Structure 1
Amino acid sequence: MRRFARFFKYAVGFLFFLVMCRWQCRPKEKVIVRFIPVTVKMDTARKFDEESHLPFEEMLETEVTYGVATPTLAPTTVTPTSTEATSTTVSQTLTTFSLDTLFSNTDRTTNAIEAPTKVAGSDDAVSRVHVLILASFRGGSTFIGELFNANKDFFYSYEPGRTLIKCMKKFDQPFSLFRPKHIEMLDNIFRCNFTSDVMQCYASDLARSPLEKRTREVSALDQATLCSGRWPELIPQSKQCAVVQPKVLTDLCSEHKHTVIKSIRLYDLNDVVALVRDPSLNLKVIHIIRDPRGKAPSWMERRLVSKPNYTVTDLTGKVLESMTAYCQNALENLLVGLSMPNWLKDRYKAVRYEDVAMRPYEMTQEIYRFVGLPVPNTVLQWVHNNTNNTAGGPFSTTRNSAEAAMAWKQTLSPDAIQKIEETYPCKEMMAIAGYRPVFDVKELEDSNVTFLDTFPPQYVPNLKYREDQFHPLFWVP
């Protein structure tokens, strides 16, 4: 019995040793912070399967979705130990991650991202430039798009996603395919390829559109161009002008040096990662954001009722729902765009609409410097003609741009302004984007107060969710 007890003791000790050895020699693990998403009712165009998002490979291992953080274990990868900003990656563990590192390589004065040095005479230095303007409804993107449309070297496509929705309905395709189809459509336009079924439908829709609508969506399709006799085989009998066909679009796109697309239907910056990473496209993404306090009255004017003033009672559930969706979407895209790895940083630029409206000449130079092109005189003349005028409709670009950007100070009542400032996640989005809140009602009467802080910020503040609605959560551990 004594021998058996001794043998059992040694056996248990040996098994314990094996277990501890296996535990110590296991692959290291790290914590990936995942957030339980907060359900936010979106517009119809926002109803996508969030699980189908394609994340950046080098994106921080924190899903930018809003809610309660729940740690999960995942196999680790080797994390760099260098503390230099140029070698710091965004796939850091929770204990070492700080959002301050996201802005270590950003120019604070111009919001321009440091571009890699190009060798003079290299193919990359003189390659075709493709520009994608990512924005939202009533976000000021039409004005930014015209800065490129006024340049005769650019082939300008205005909201092709709107036509895509009509074409998908025509082919009876489910709306769940909109996102991949939209990216495919953008890629085809950038490559001047209009031969697919969707692109032929796009050309057909342009052919049926009135002249004003057609030239707004593709400015190169003006009457003089189509009636020049350049495509005699496409001119119907008893007509003098060619019908818009894929060949016409291909020829016009190819003869321009560069391409720009404006879209308010591209909701997730992650969706364009394949286009951004494609070296043959030389794609530049310009992300336009706008103060939700300025966006709200503009949205209500177009979607609900036009009034000289709006109070807190006008901020109905539909309005707050739209503002919530916009702020959450803008915040997610900002966090993704500003956290890109160094070799992608020269492909993304966040621009505040208010900065362009308040300083149009300076910001025009800055935007063109970002895409690597000089500003032609025609663009400067367009800026002069369209930023010092009080005329213009809701979609017009002719107005006093500075007054238009700050019109919310008189249009919204103080209680309505406070309601928007306290709405989740607009409070967090405004903190990141440099839109400071109103501290005193008298500030609304001062024309010199713009409520614009430095952008991007010198640091990212802790984003604590309101305890009455969400569990406490800090972005910076």
Structure 2
Amino acid sequence: MHNPQQTPETLQDNSNTTARSSFTVLKVLLSKLPSTKGNYSNFSEEQPKEVDNIGNSLDHKHVLLMASTRTGSSFVGEFFNQHGESMFYLFEPLWHVERMLFPDAEANNGTLLPEIYRDIIQALFLCDFSPLEKFISPPPQDHVTPDLFRRESSMALCEEPVCTPEIKEEPLATRHCGPLNLTLASESCLSKQYRAIKTVRVRLLETLQPLLEDLRLDVRIIQLVRDPRAILASRMVAFSSKYQTWKTWAQDGQVPEDNEEVKRLKGNCDQLRISAEMGLSQPPWLRRRYMLVRYEDIARNPMQKAEEMYKFTGIPFSSQAREWILRNTQSVQEASGIYSTQKNSSEQADKWRFSIPFTLAQVVQKVCGPTMKLFGYKYVDDEKTLVNKSVSLLDEKQRPY
């Protein structure tokens, strides 16, 4: 059967159909939430409208840093945030969506409404904040809000005219801005040649296909991964109250493998592997648009890996970004906070090995085995090997990238 040649217009129509269906699902969900009744009834079913030529010339580049929690994504995101005045960087804008629709983030597990996440990313890459506004609580008034999550993590949102500090001489790093005017944020975004978004809320790469096929965008996806044993160890510290069950198992030395917590861990590992396998297989819609990066390699050689990531995205590696990396990867004293980006990076890769009990490491190896093998992480057979830093747990031969 002869298939008609697909034109750019046809591709755009398919994307619109997908977006309309996902927005319809969203409207139904929002109508069932008492807290949103009356506030979000006008959620648009349209695709983000194409903005002017300044905002969408062929020279524009769009970067999506796709990760999971405790993989070093805040640190790696700064590689792009610190690029300079040509970069518009957003830190976890999908936090608002997850918070409204799924207050219990673990219950969501990234399997529901991935189209909504994708469509909001698409709008933000086009500098359209209106879909995101629907999820900011309390609702912005006249497109102004004091409640954008981690606004201070975006340099573009902390510079004039988006931010007008009370003290003009106040340094950008410590600047306290008034409420965020999303119209000004959109205008700032349109003036930037490069746009980057960091998110830990997109789990499956395949859900992003319409985003990659949008002819208005030039998207590159960087998937950041880390040893699953290290992720668990880090989460047990950073999100202590949510990992009490794992702490109990660590003390008891017994882990019931049919427990929901263990199943969730396996599900997370499987999603990472499935996305990476798809990216590495390079289907036509992802060809030369996907890069897999291990956190451990960045920690060991931050400047080299940053150069590789910038080359992949087609964005010049600025002197500002280089200087930031030098200053923040050789710190004698690390900054505190679970989202800290100031680290002695060469010491970070193996730090987890001294905090996770061997019993828990064994569980991770059992349920995340295929994922560890794909990414090139070696098993340990005993506690002595686990804490022996002279034994590398990175298998360079197994790396598929």
| Equivalent residue, structure 2, for 1:395 | 339
Contact 1:158/1:262 (8 A) holds in 2: yes
| Equivalent residue, structure 1, for 2:206 | 270
Contact 1:138/1:299 (8 A) holds in 2: yes
Distance 2:380 2:58 in 1: 46
Distance 1:405 1:440 in 2: 19
Residue type of the alignment partner of 1:273? Q
Runs of 4+ in 1 over 6 A off after TM superposition: none
Match of 1:422 among 352, 361, 366: 366
Match of 1:148 among 80, 87, 96: 80
| Equivalent residue, structure 2, for 1:473 | none
Deviations 1:15-66 (A, max 9, x none): xxxxxxxxxxxx9xxxxxxxxxxxxxxxxxxxxx9xx9xxxxxxxxxxxxxx
State the shift of 1:458 in Å. Answer: 5.6
Contact 2:61/2:313 (8 A) holds in 1: yes
Give the 3 Å change call, closer, same or farther, for CA 344–142 of structure 1 in structure 2.
Answer: same
TM-score of the aligned structures, taking structure 2 as reference length: 0.70
Distance 1:186 1:283 in 2: 11
Across the aligned residues of Structure 1 and Structure 2, the Cα RMSD in angstroms comes to 3.6
| Equivalent residue, structure 2, for 1:234 | none
| Equivalent residue, structure 2, for 1:245 | 181
Deviations 1:94-119 (A, max 9, x none): xxxxxxxxxxxxxxxxxxxxxxxxxx
Contact 2:145/2:181 (8 A) holds in 1: no
State the shift of 1:437 in Å. Answer: 0.8
Match of 1:219 among 146, 155, 158: 155
| Equivalent residue, structure 2, for 1:311 | 250
Distance 1:213 1:357 in 2: 24
Distance 1:449 1:154 in 2: 40
Contact 1:158/1:263 (8 A) holds in 2: yes
* 1:191 maps to 2:126: yes
| Equivalent residue, structure 2, for 1:412 | 356
Give the 3 Å change call, closer, same or farther, for CA 125–403 of structure 1 in structure 2.
Answer: farther
Q: Counterparts of 1:69-468 in structure 2 under 5 Å?
A: 127-152=59-84, 153-166=86-99, 178-196=113-131, 198-199=132-133, 202=136, 204=140, 207-209=144-146, 213-216=150-153, 218-222=154-158, 224-226=160-162, 228=164, 243-304=179-240, 311=250, 313=252, 317=259, 319-341=261-283, 344-389=286-331, 390-392=333-335, 393-423=337-367, 426-439=368-381, 441-454=383-396, 457=399
Gaps of 5+ in 2: 2-21, 26-55, 166-175
State the shift of 1:339 in Å. Answer: 1.4
Deviations 1:432-473 (A, max 9, x none): 1111112465433443433111376369xxxxxxxxxxxxxx
- Matched-pair identity in %: 27
Distance 2:177 2:330 in 1: 37
Structure number, greater radius of gyration: 1
State the shift of 1:313 in Å. Answer: 3.8
Instruction: Say how many residue pairs are matched.
Output: 320
| Equivalent residue, structure 2, for 1:60 | none
Deviations 1:223-254 (A, max 9, x none): 6544549xxxxxxxxxx987533321211101
Distance 1:177 1:438 in 2: 35
Contact 2:269/2:371 (8 A) holds in 1: yes
Residue type of the alignment partner of 1:165? E
Residue type of the alignment partner of 2:215? P
Residue type of the alignment partner of 1:274? P
| Equivalent residue, structure 2, for 1:88 | none
State the shift of 1:402 in Å. Answer: 2.5
State the shift of 1:165 in Å. Answer: 3.4
Deviations 1:50-88 (A, max 9, x none): xx9xxxxxxxxxxxxxxxxxxxxxxxxxxxxxxxxxxxx
Give the 3 Å change call, closer, same or farther, for CA 397–265 of structure 1 in structure 2.
Answer: same
Between Structure 1 and Structure 2, the one with more helix by share is 2
The answer to which of 430-439 and 199-208 deviates more is: 199-208
Residue type of the alignment partner of 2:334? A
Contact 1:368/1:374 (8 A) holds in 2: yes
Contact 2:229/2:364 (8 A) holds in 1: yes
Residue type of the alignment partner of 2:117? H
Distance 2:390 2:116 in 1: 46
Distance 1:184 1:167 in 2: 16
Distance 2:100 2:388 in 1: 49
Contact 2:376/2:395 (8 A) holds in 1: yes
